[in-house]
Amino acid sequence: MSKNAIDIKGLKKVYRGRGGAEDKVALTGIDLEIPRGSMFGLLGPNGAGKSTTINILAGLVNKTEGSASIWGFDIDQNPRNARANIGIVPQELMFDAFFTPREMLEVQAGMYGVPKAERRTEELLKAVHLLDKADAYSRSLSGGMKRRLLVAKALVHNPPVLVLDEPTAGVDIELRQQLWDYVRELHARGTTVVLTTHYLEEAEELCDTIAIINHGEVVCCEPTEQLLKRIDEKEIVITLAETLDGVPNALRSFKAHVRDAHRVAVQISQADANVGEVLAAVQAAGLTITDIATDETDLEDIFLQLTSSQGEAA
């Protein structure tokens, strides 16, 4: 038995272009191991191939090449067992608008062959804060409620692996917190959780391991802490009262460049400098700081950093 919840090997997907459109390579042949018990983040910008990966596991998209197994069951050789071990919350809110949440969970449980006595409809509705909407038409639910209903639906057969594809899309902040609390609780009780996101902060906050995917390739896959150490570079922008005609001498030893007549940007990484040292140098030079801002690290920066550091290592 594999110790991984999910094993992906050489997975490739080419969407065939129809009516003269060009073929689209969505996955180039990726390897990915998702350990049992982990809270795993699949992080990447829009179009990276996250949903394609998830939808192949869900049996919604046919792969072009490679293999995948879930809880040790190959999706081709053992599709029933593979499916029984995973619950997937798709990115798209696909709904039968005329079912109520209660009916939807019952139908889903029926499809997975869960005996009536073992169904957890009430418990699940309560867990996702939808008990008061149990008998409302699903089409009357808000986007956030629909998302939570899909989480409940993914759990009717009590799978050991839960996958959430961009779960925060359309979910407001308060309900997002409730959703995360519930996901964390499931994880604490032993469920392996996989989520895709294009927000670094989200993956950083929730996941113990992060794989970054870009243009259908896995760029890296490592413990969150280790990854964050590698991408700790930030830019601070210092506004000075004085007019600049170049990088002030005091900042020559840092990675600094002039933004405009009053602003200078400094790249800092914990490995070689900290904000305090930069500010001390500016003040020691007798310059007057009128404002300081930091830029959030965005995914594009991270890819650049990761790919350039790989280049150096090679």
- The residues that touch ligand ADP, with contacts defined as CB under 6 A, are 15, 24, 26, 44, 46-52
Distance CA 165, CA 92 (A): 9
Residue in 48, 52, 41 with CA at minimum distance from that of residue 12: 52
Question: Is 85 within 8 Å of 73 (Cβ atoms)?
Answer: yes
Query: Does 51 sit near Mg ion (CB under 5 A)?
Result: yes
121 in contact with Mg ion (CB under 5 A): no
**38 lies in the site for Mg ion, by CB under 5 A:** no
Cβ at position 48, least distance to ligand ADP in Å: 4
3 DSSP assignment: S
How many CA atoms, within 13 angstroms, populate the side-chain half-sphere of residue 144? 13
Query: Closest approach of Cβ 63 to ligand ADP, in Å?
Result: 12
Phi-psi region of 264 (alpha: psi -120 to 50; beta: other; left: phi over 0): beta
Residue recorded with tokens 């798209």: 92
Q: Is 170 helix (H, G, I), strand (E, B) or coil?
A: coil
Choose between 50 and 119: whose C-beta lies nearer to Mg ion.
50
Cβ closest to Mg ion, residue 50 vs residue 153: 50
| Candidate list 38, 85, 91, 191; residue touching Mg ion; CB under 5 A | 91
Min dist CB 53 to ligand ADP, Å, is 7
Cβ-based nearer residue to Mg ion, 159 or 167 = 167
Which residue number, 121 or 209, has a Cβ lying nearer to ligand ADP? 209
**Contacts to Mg ion by CB under 5 A:** 50-51, 91
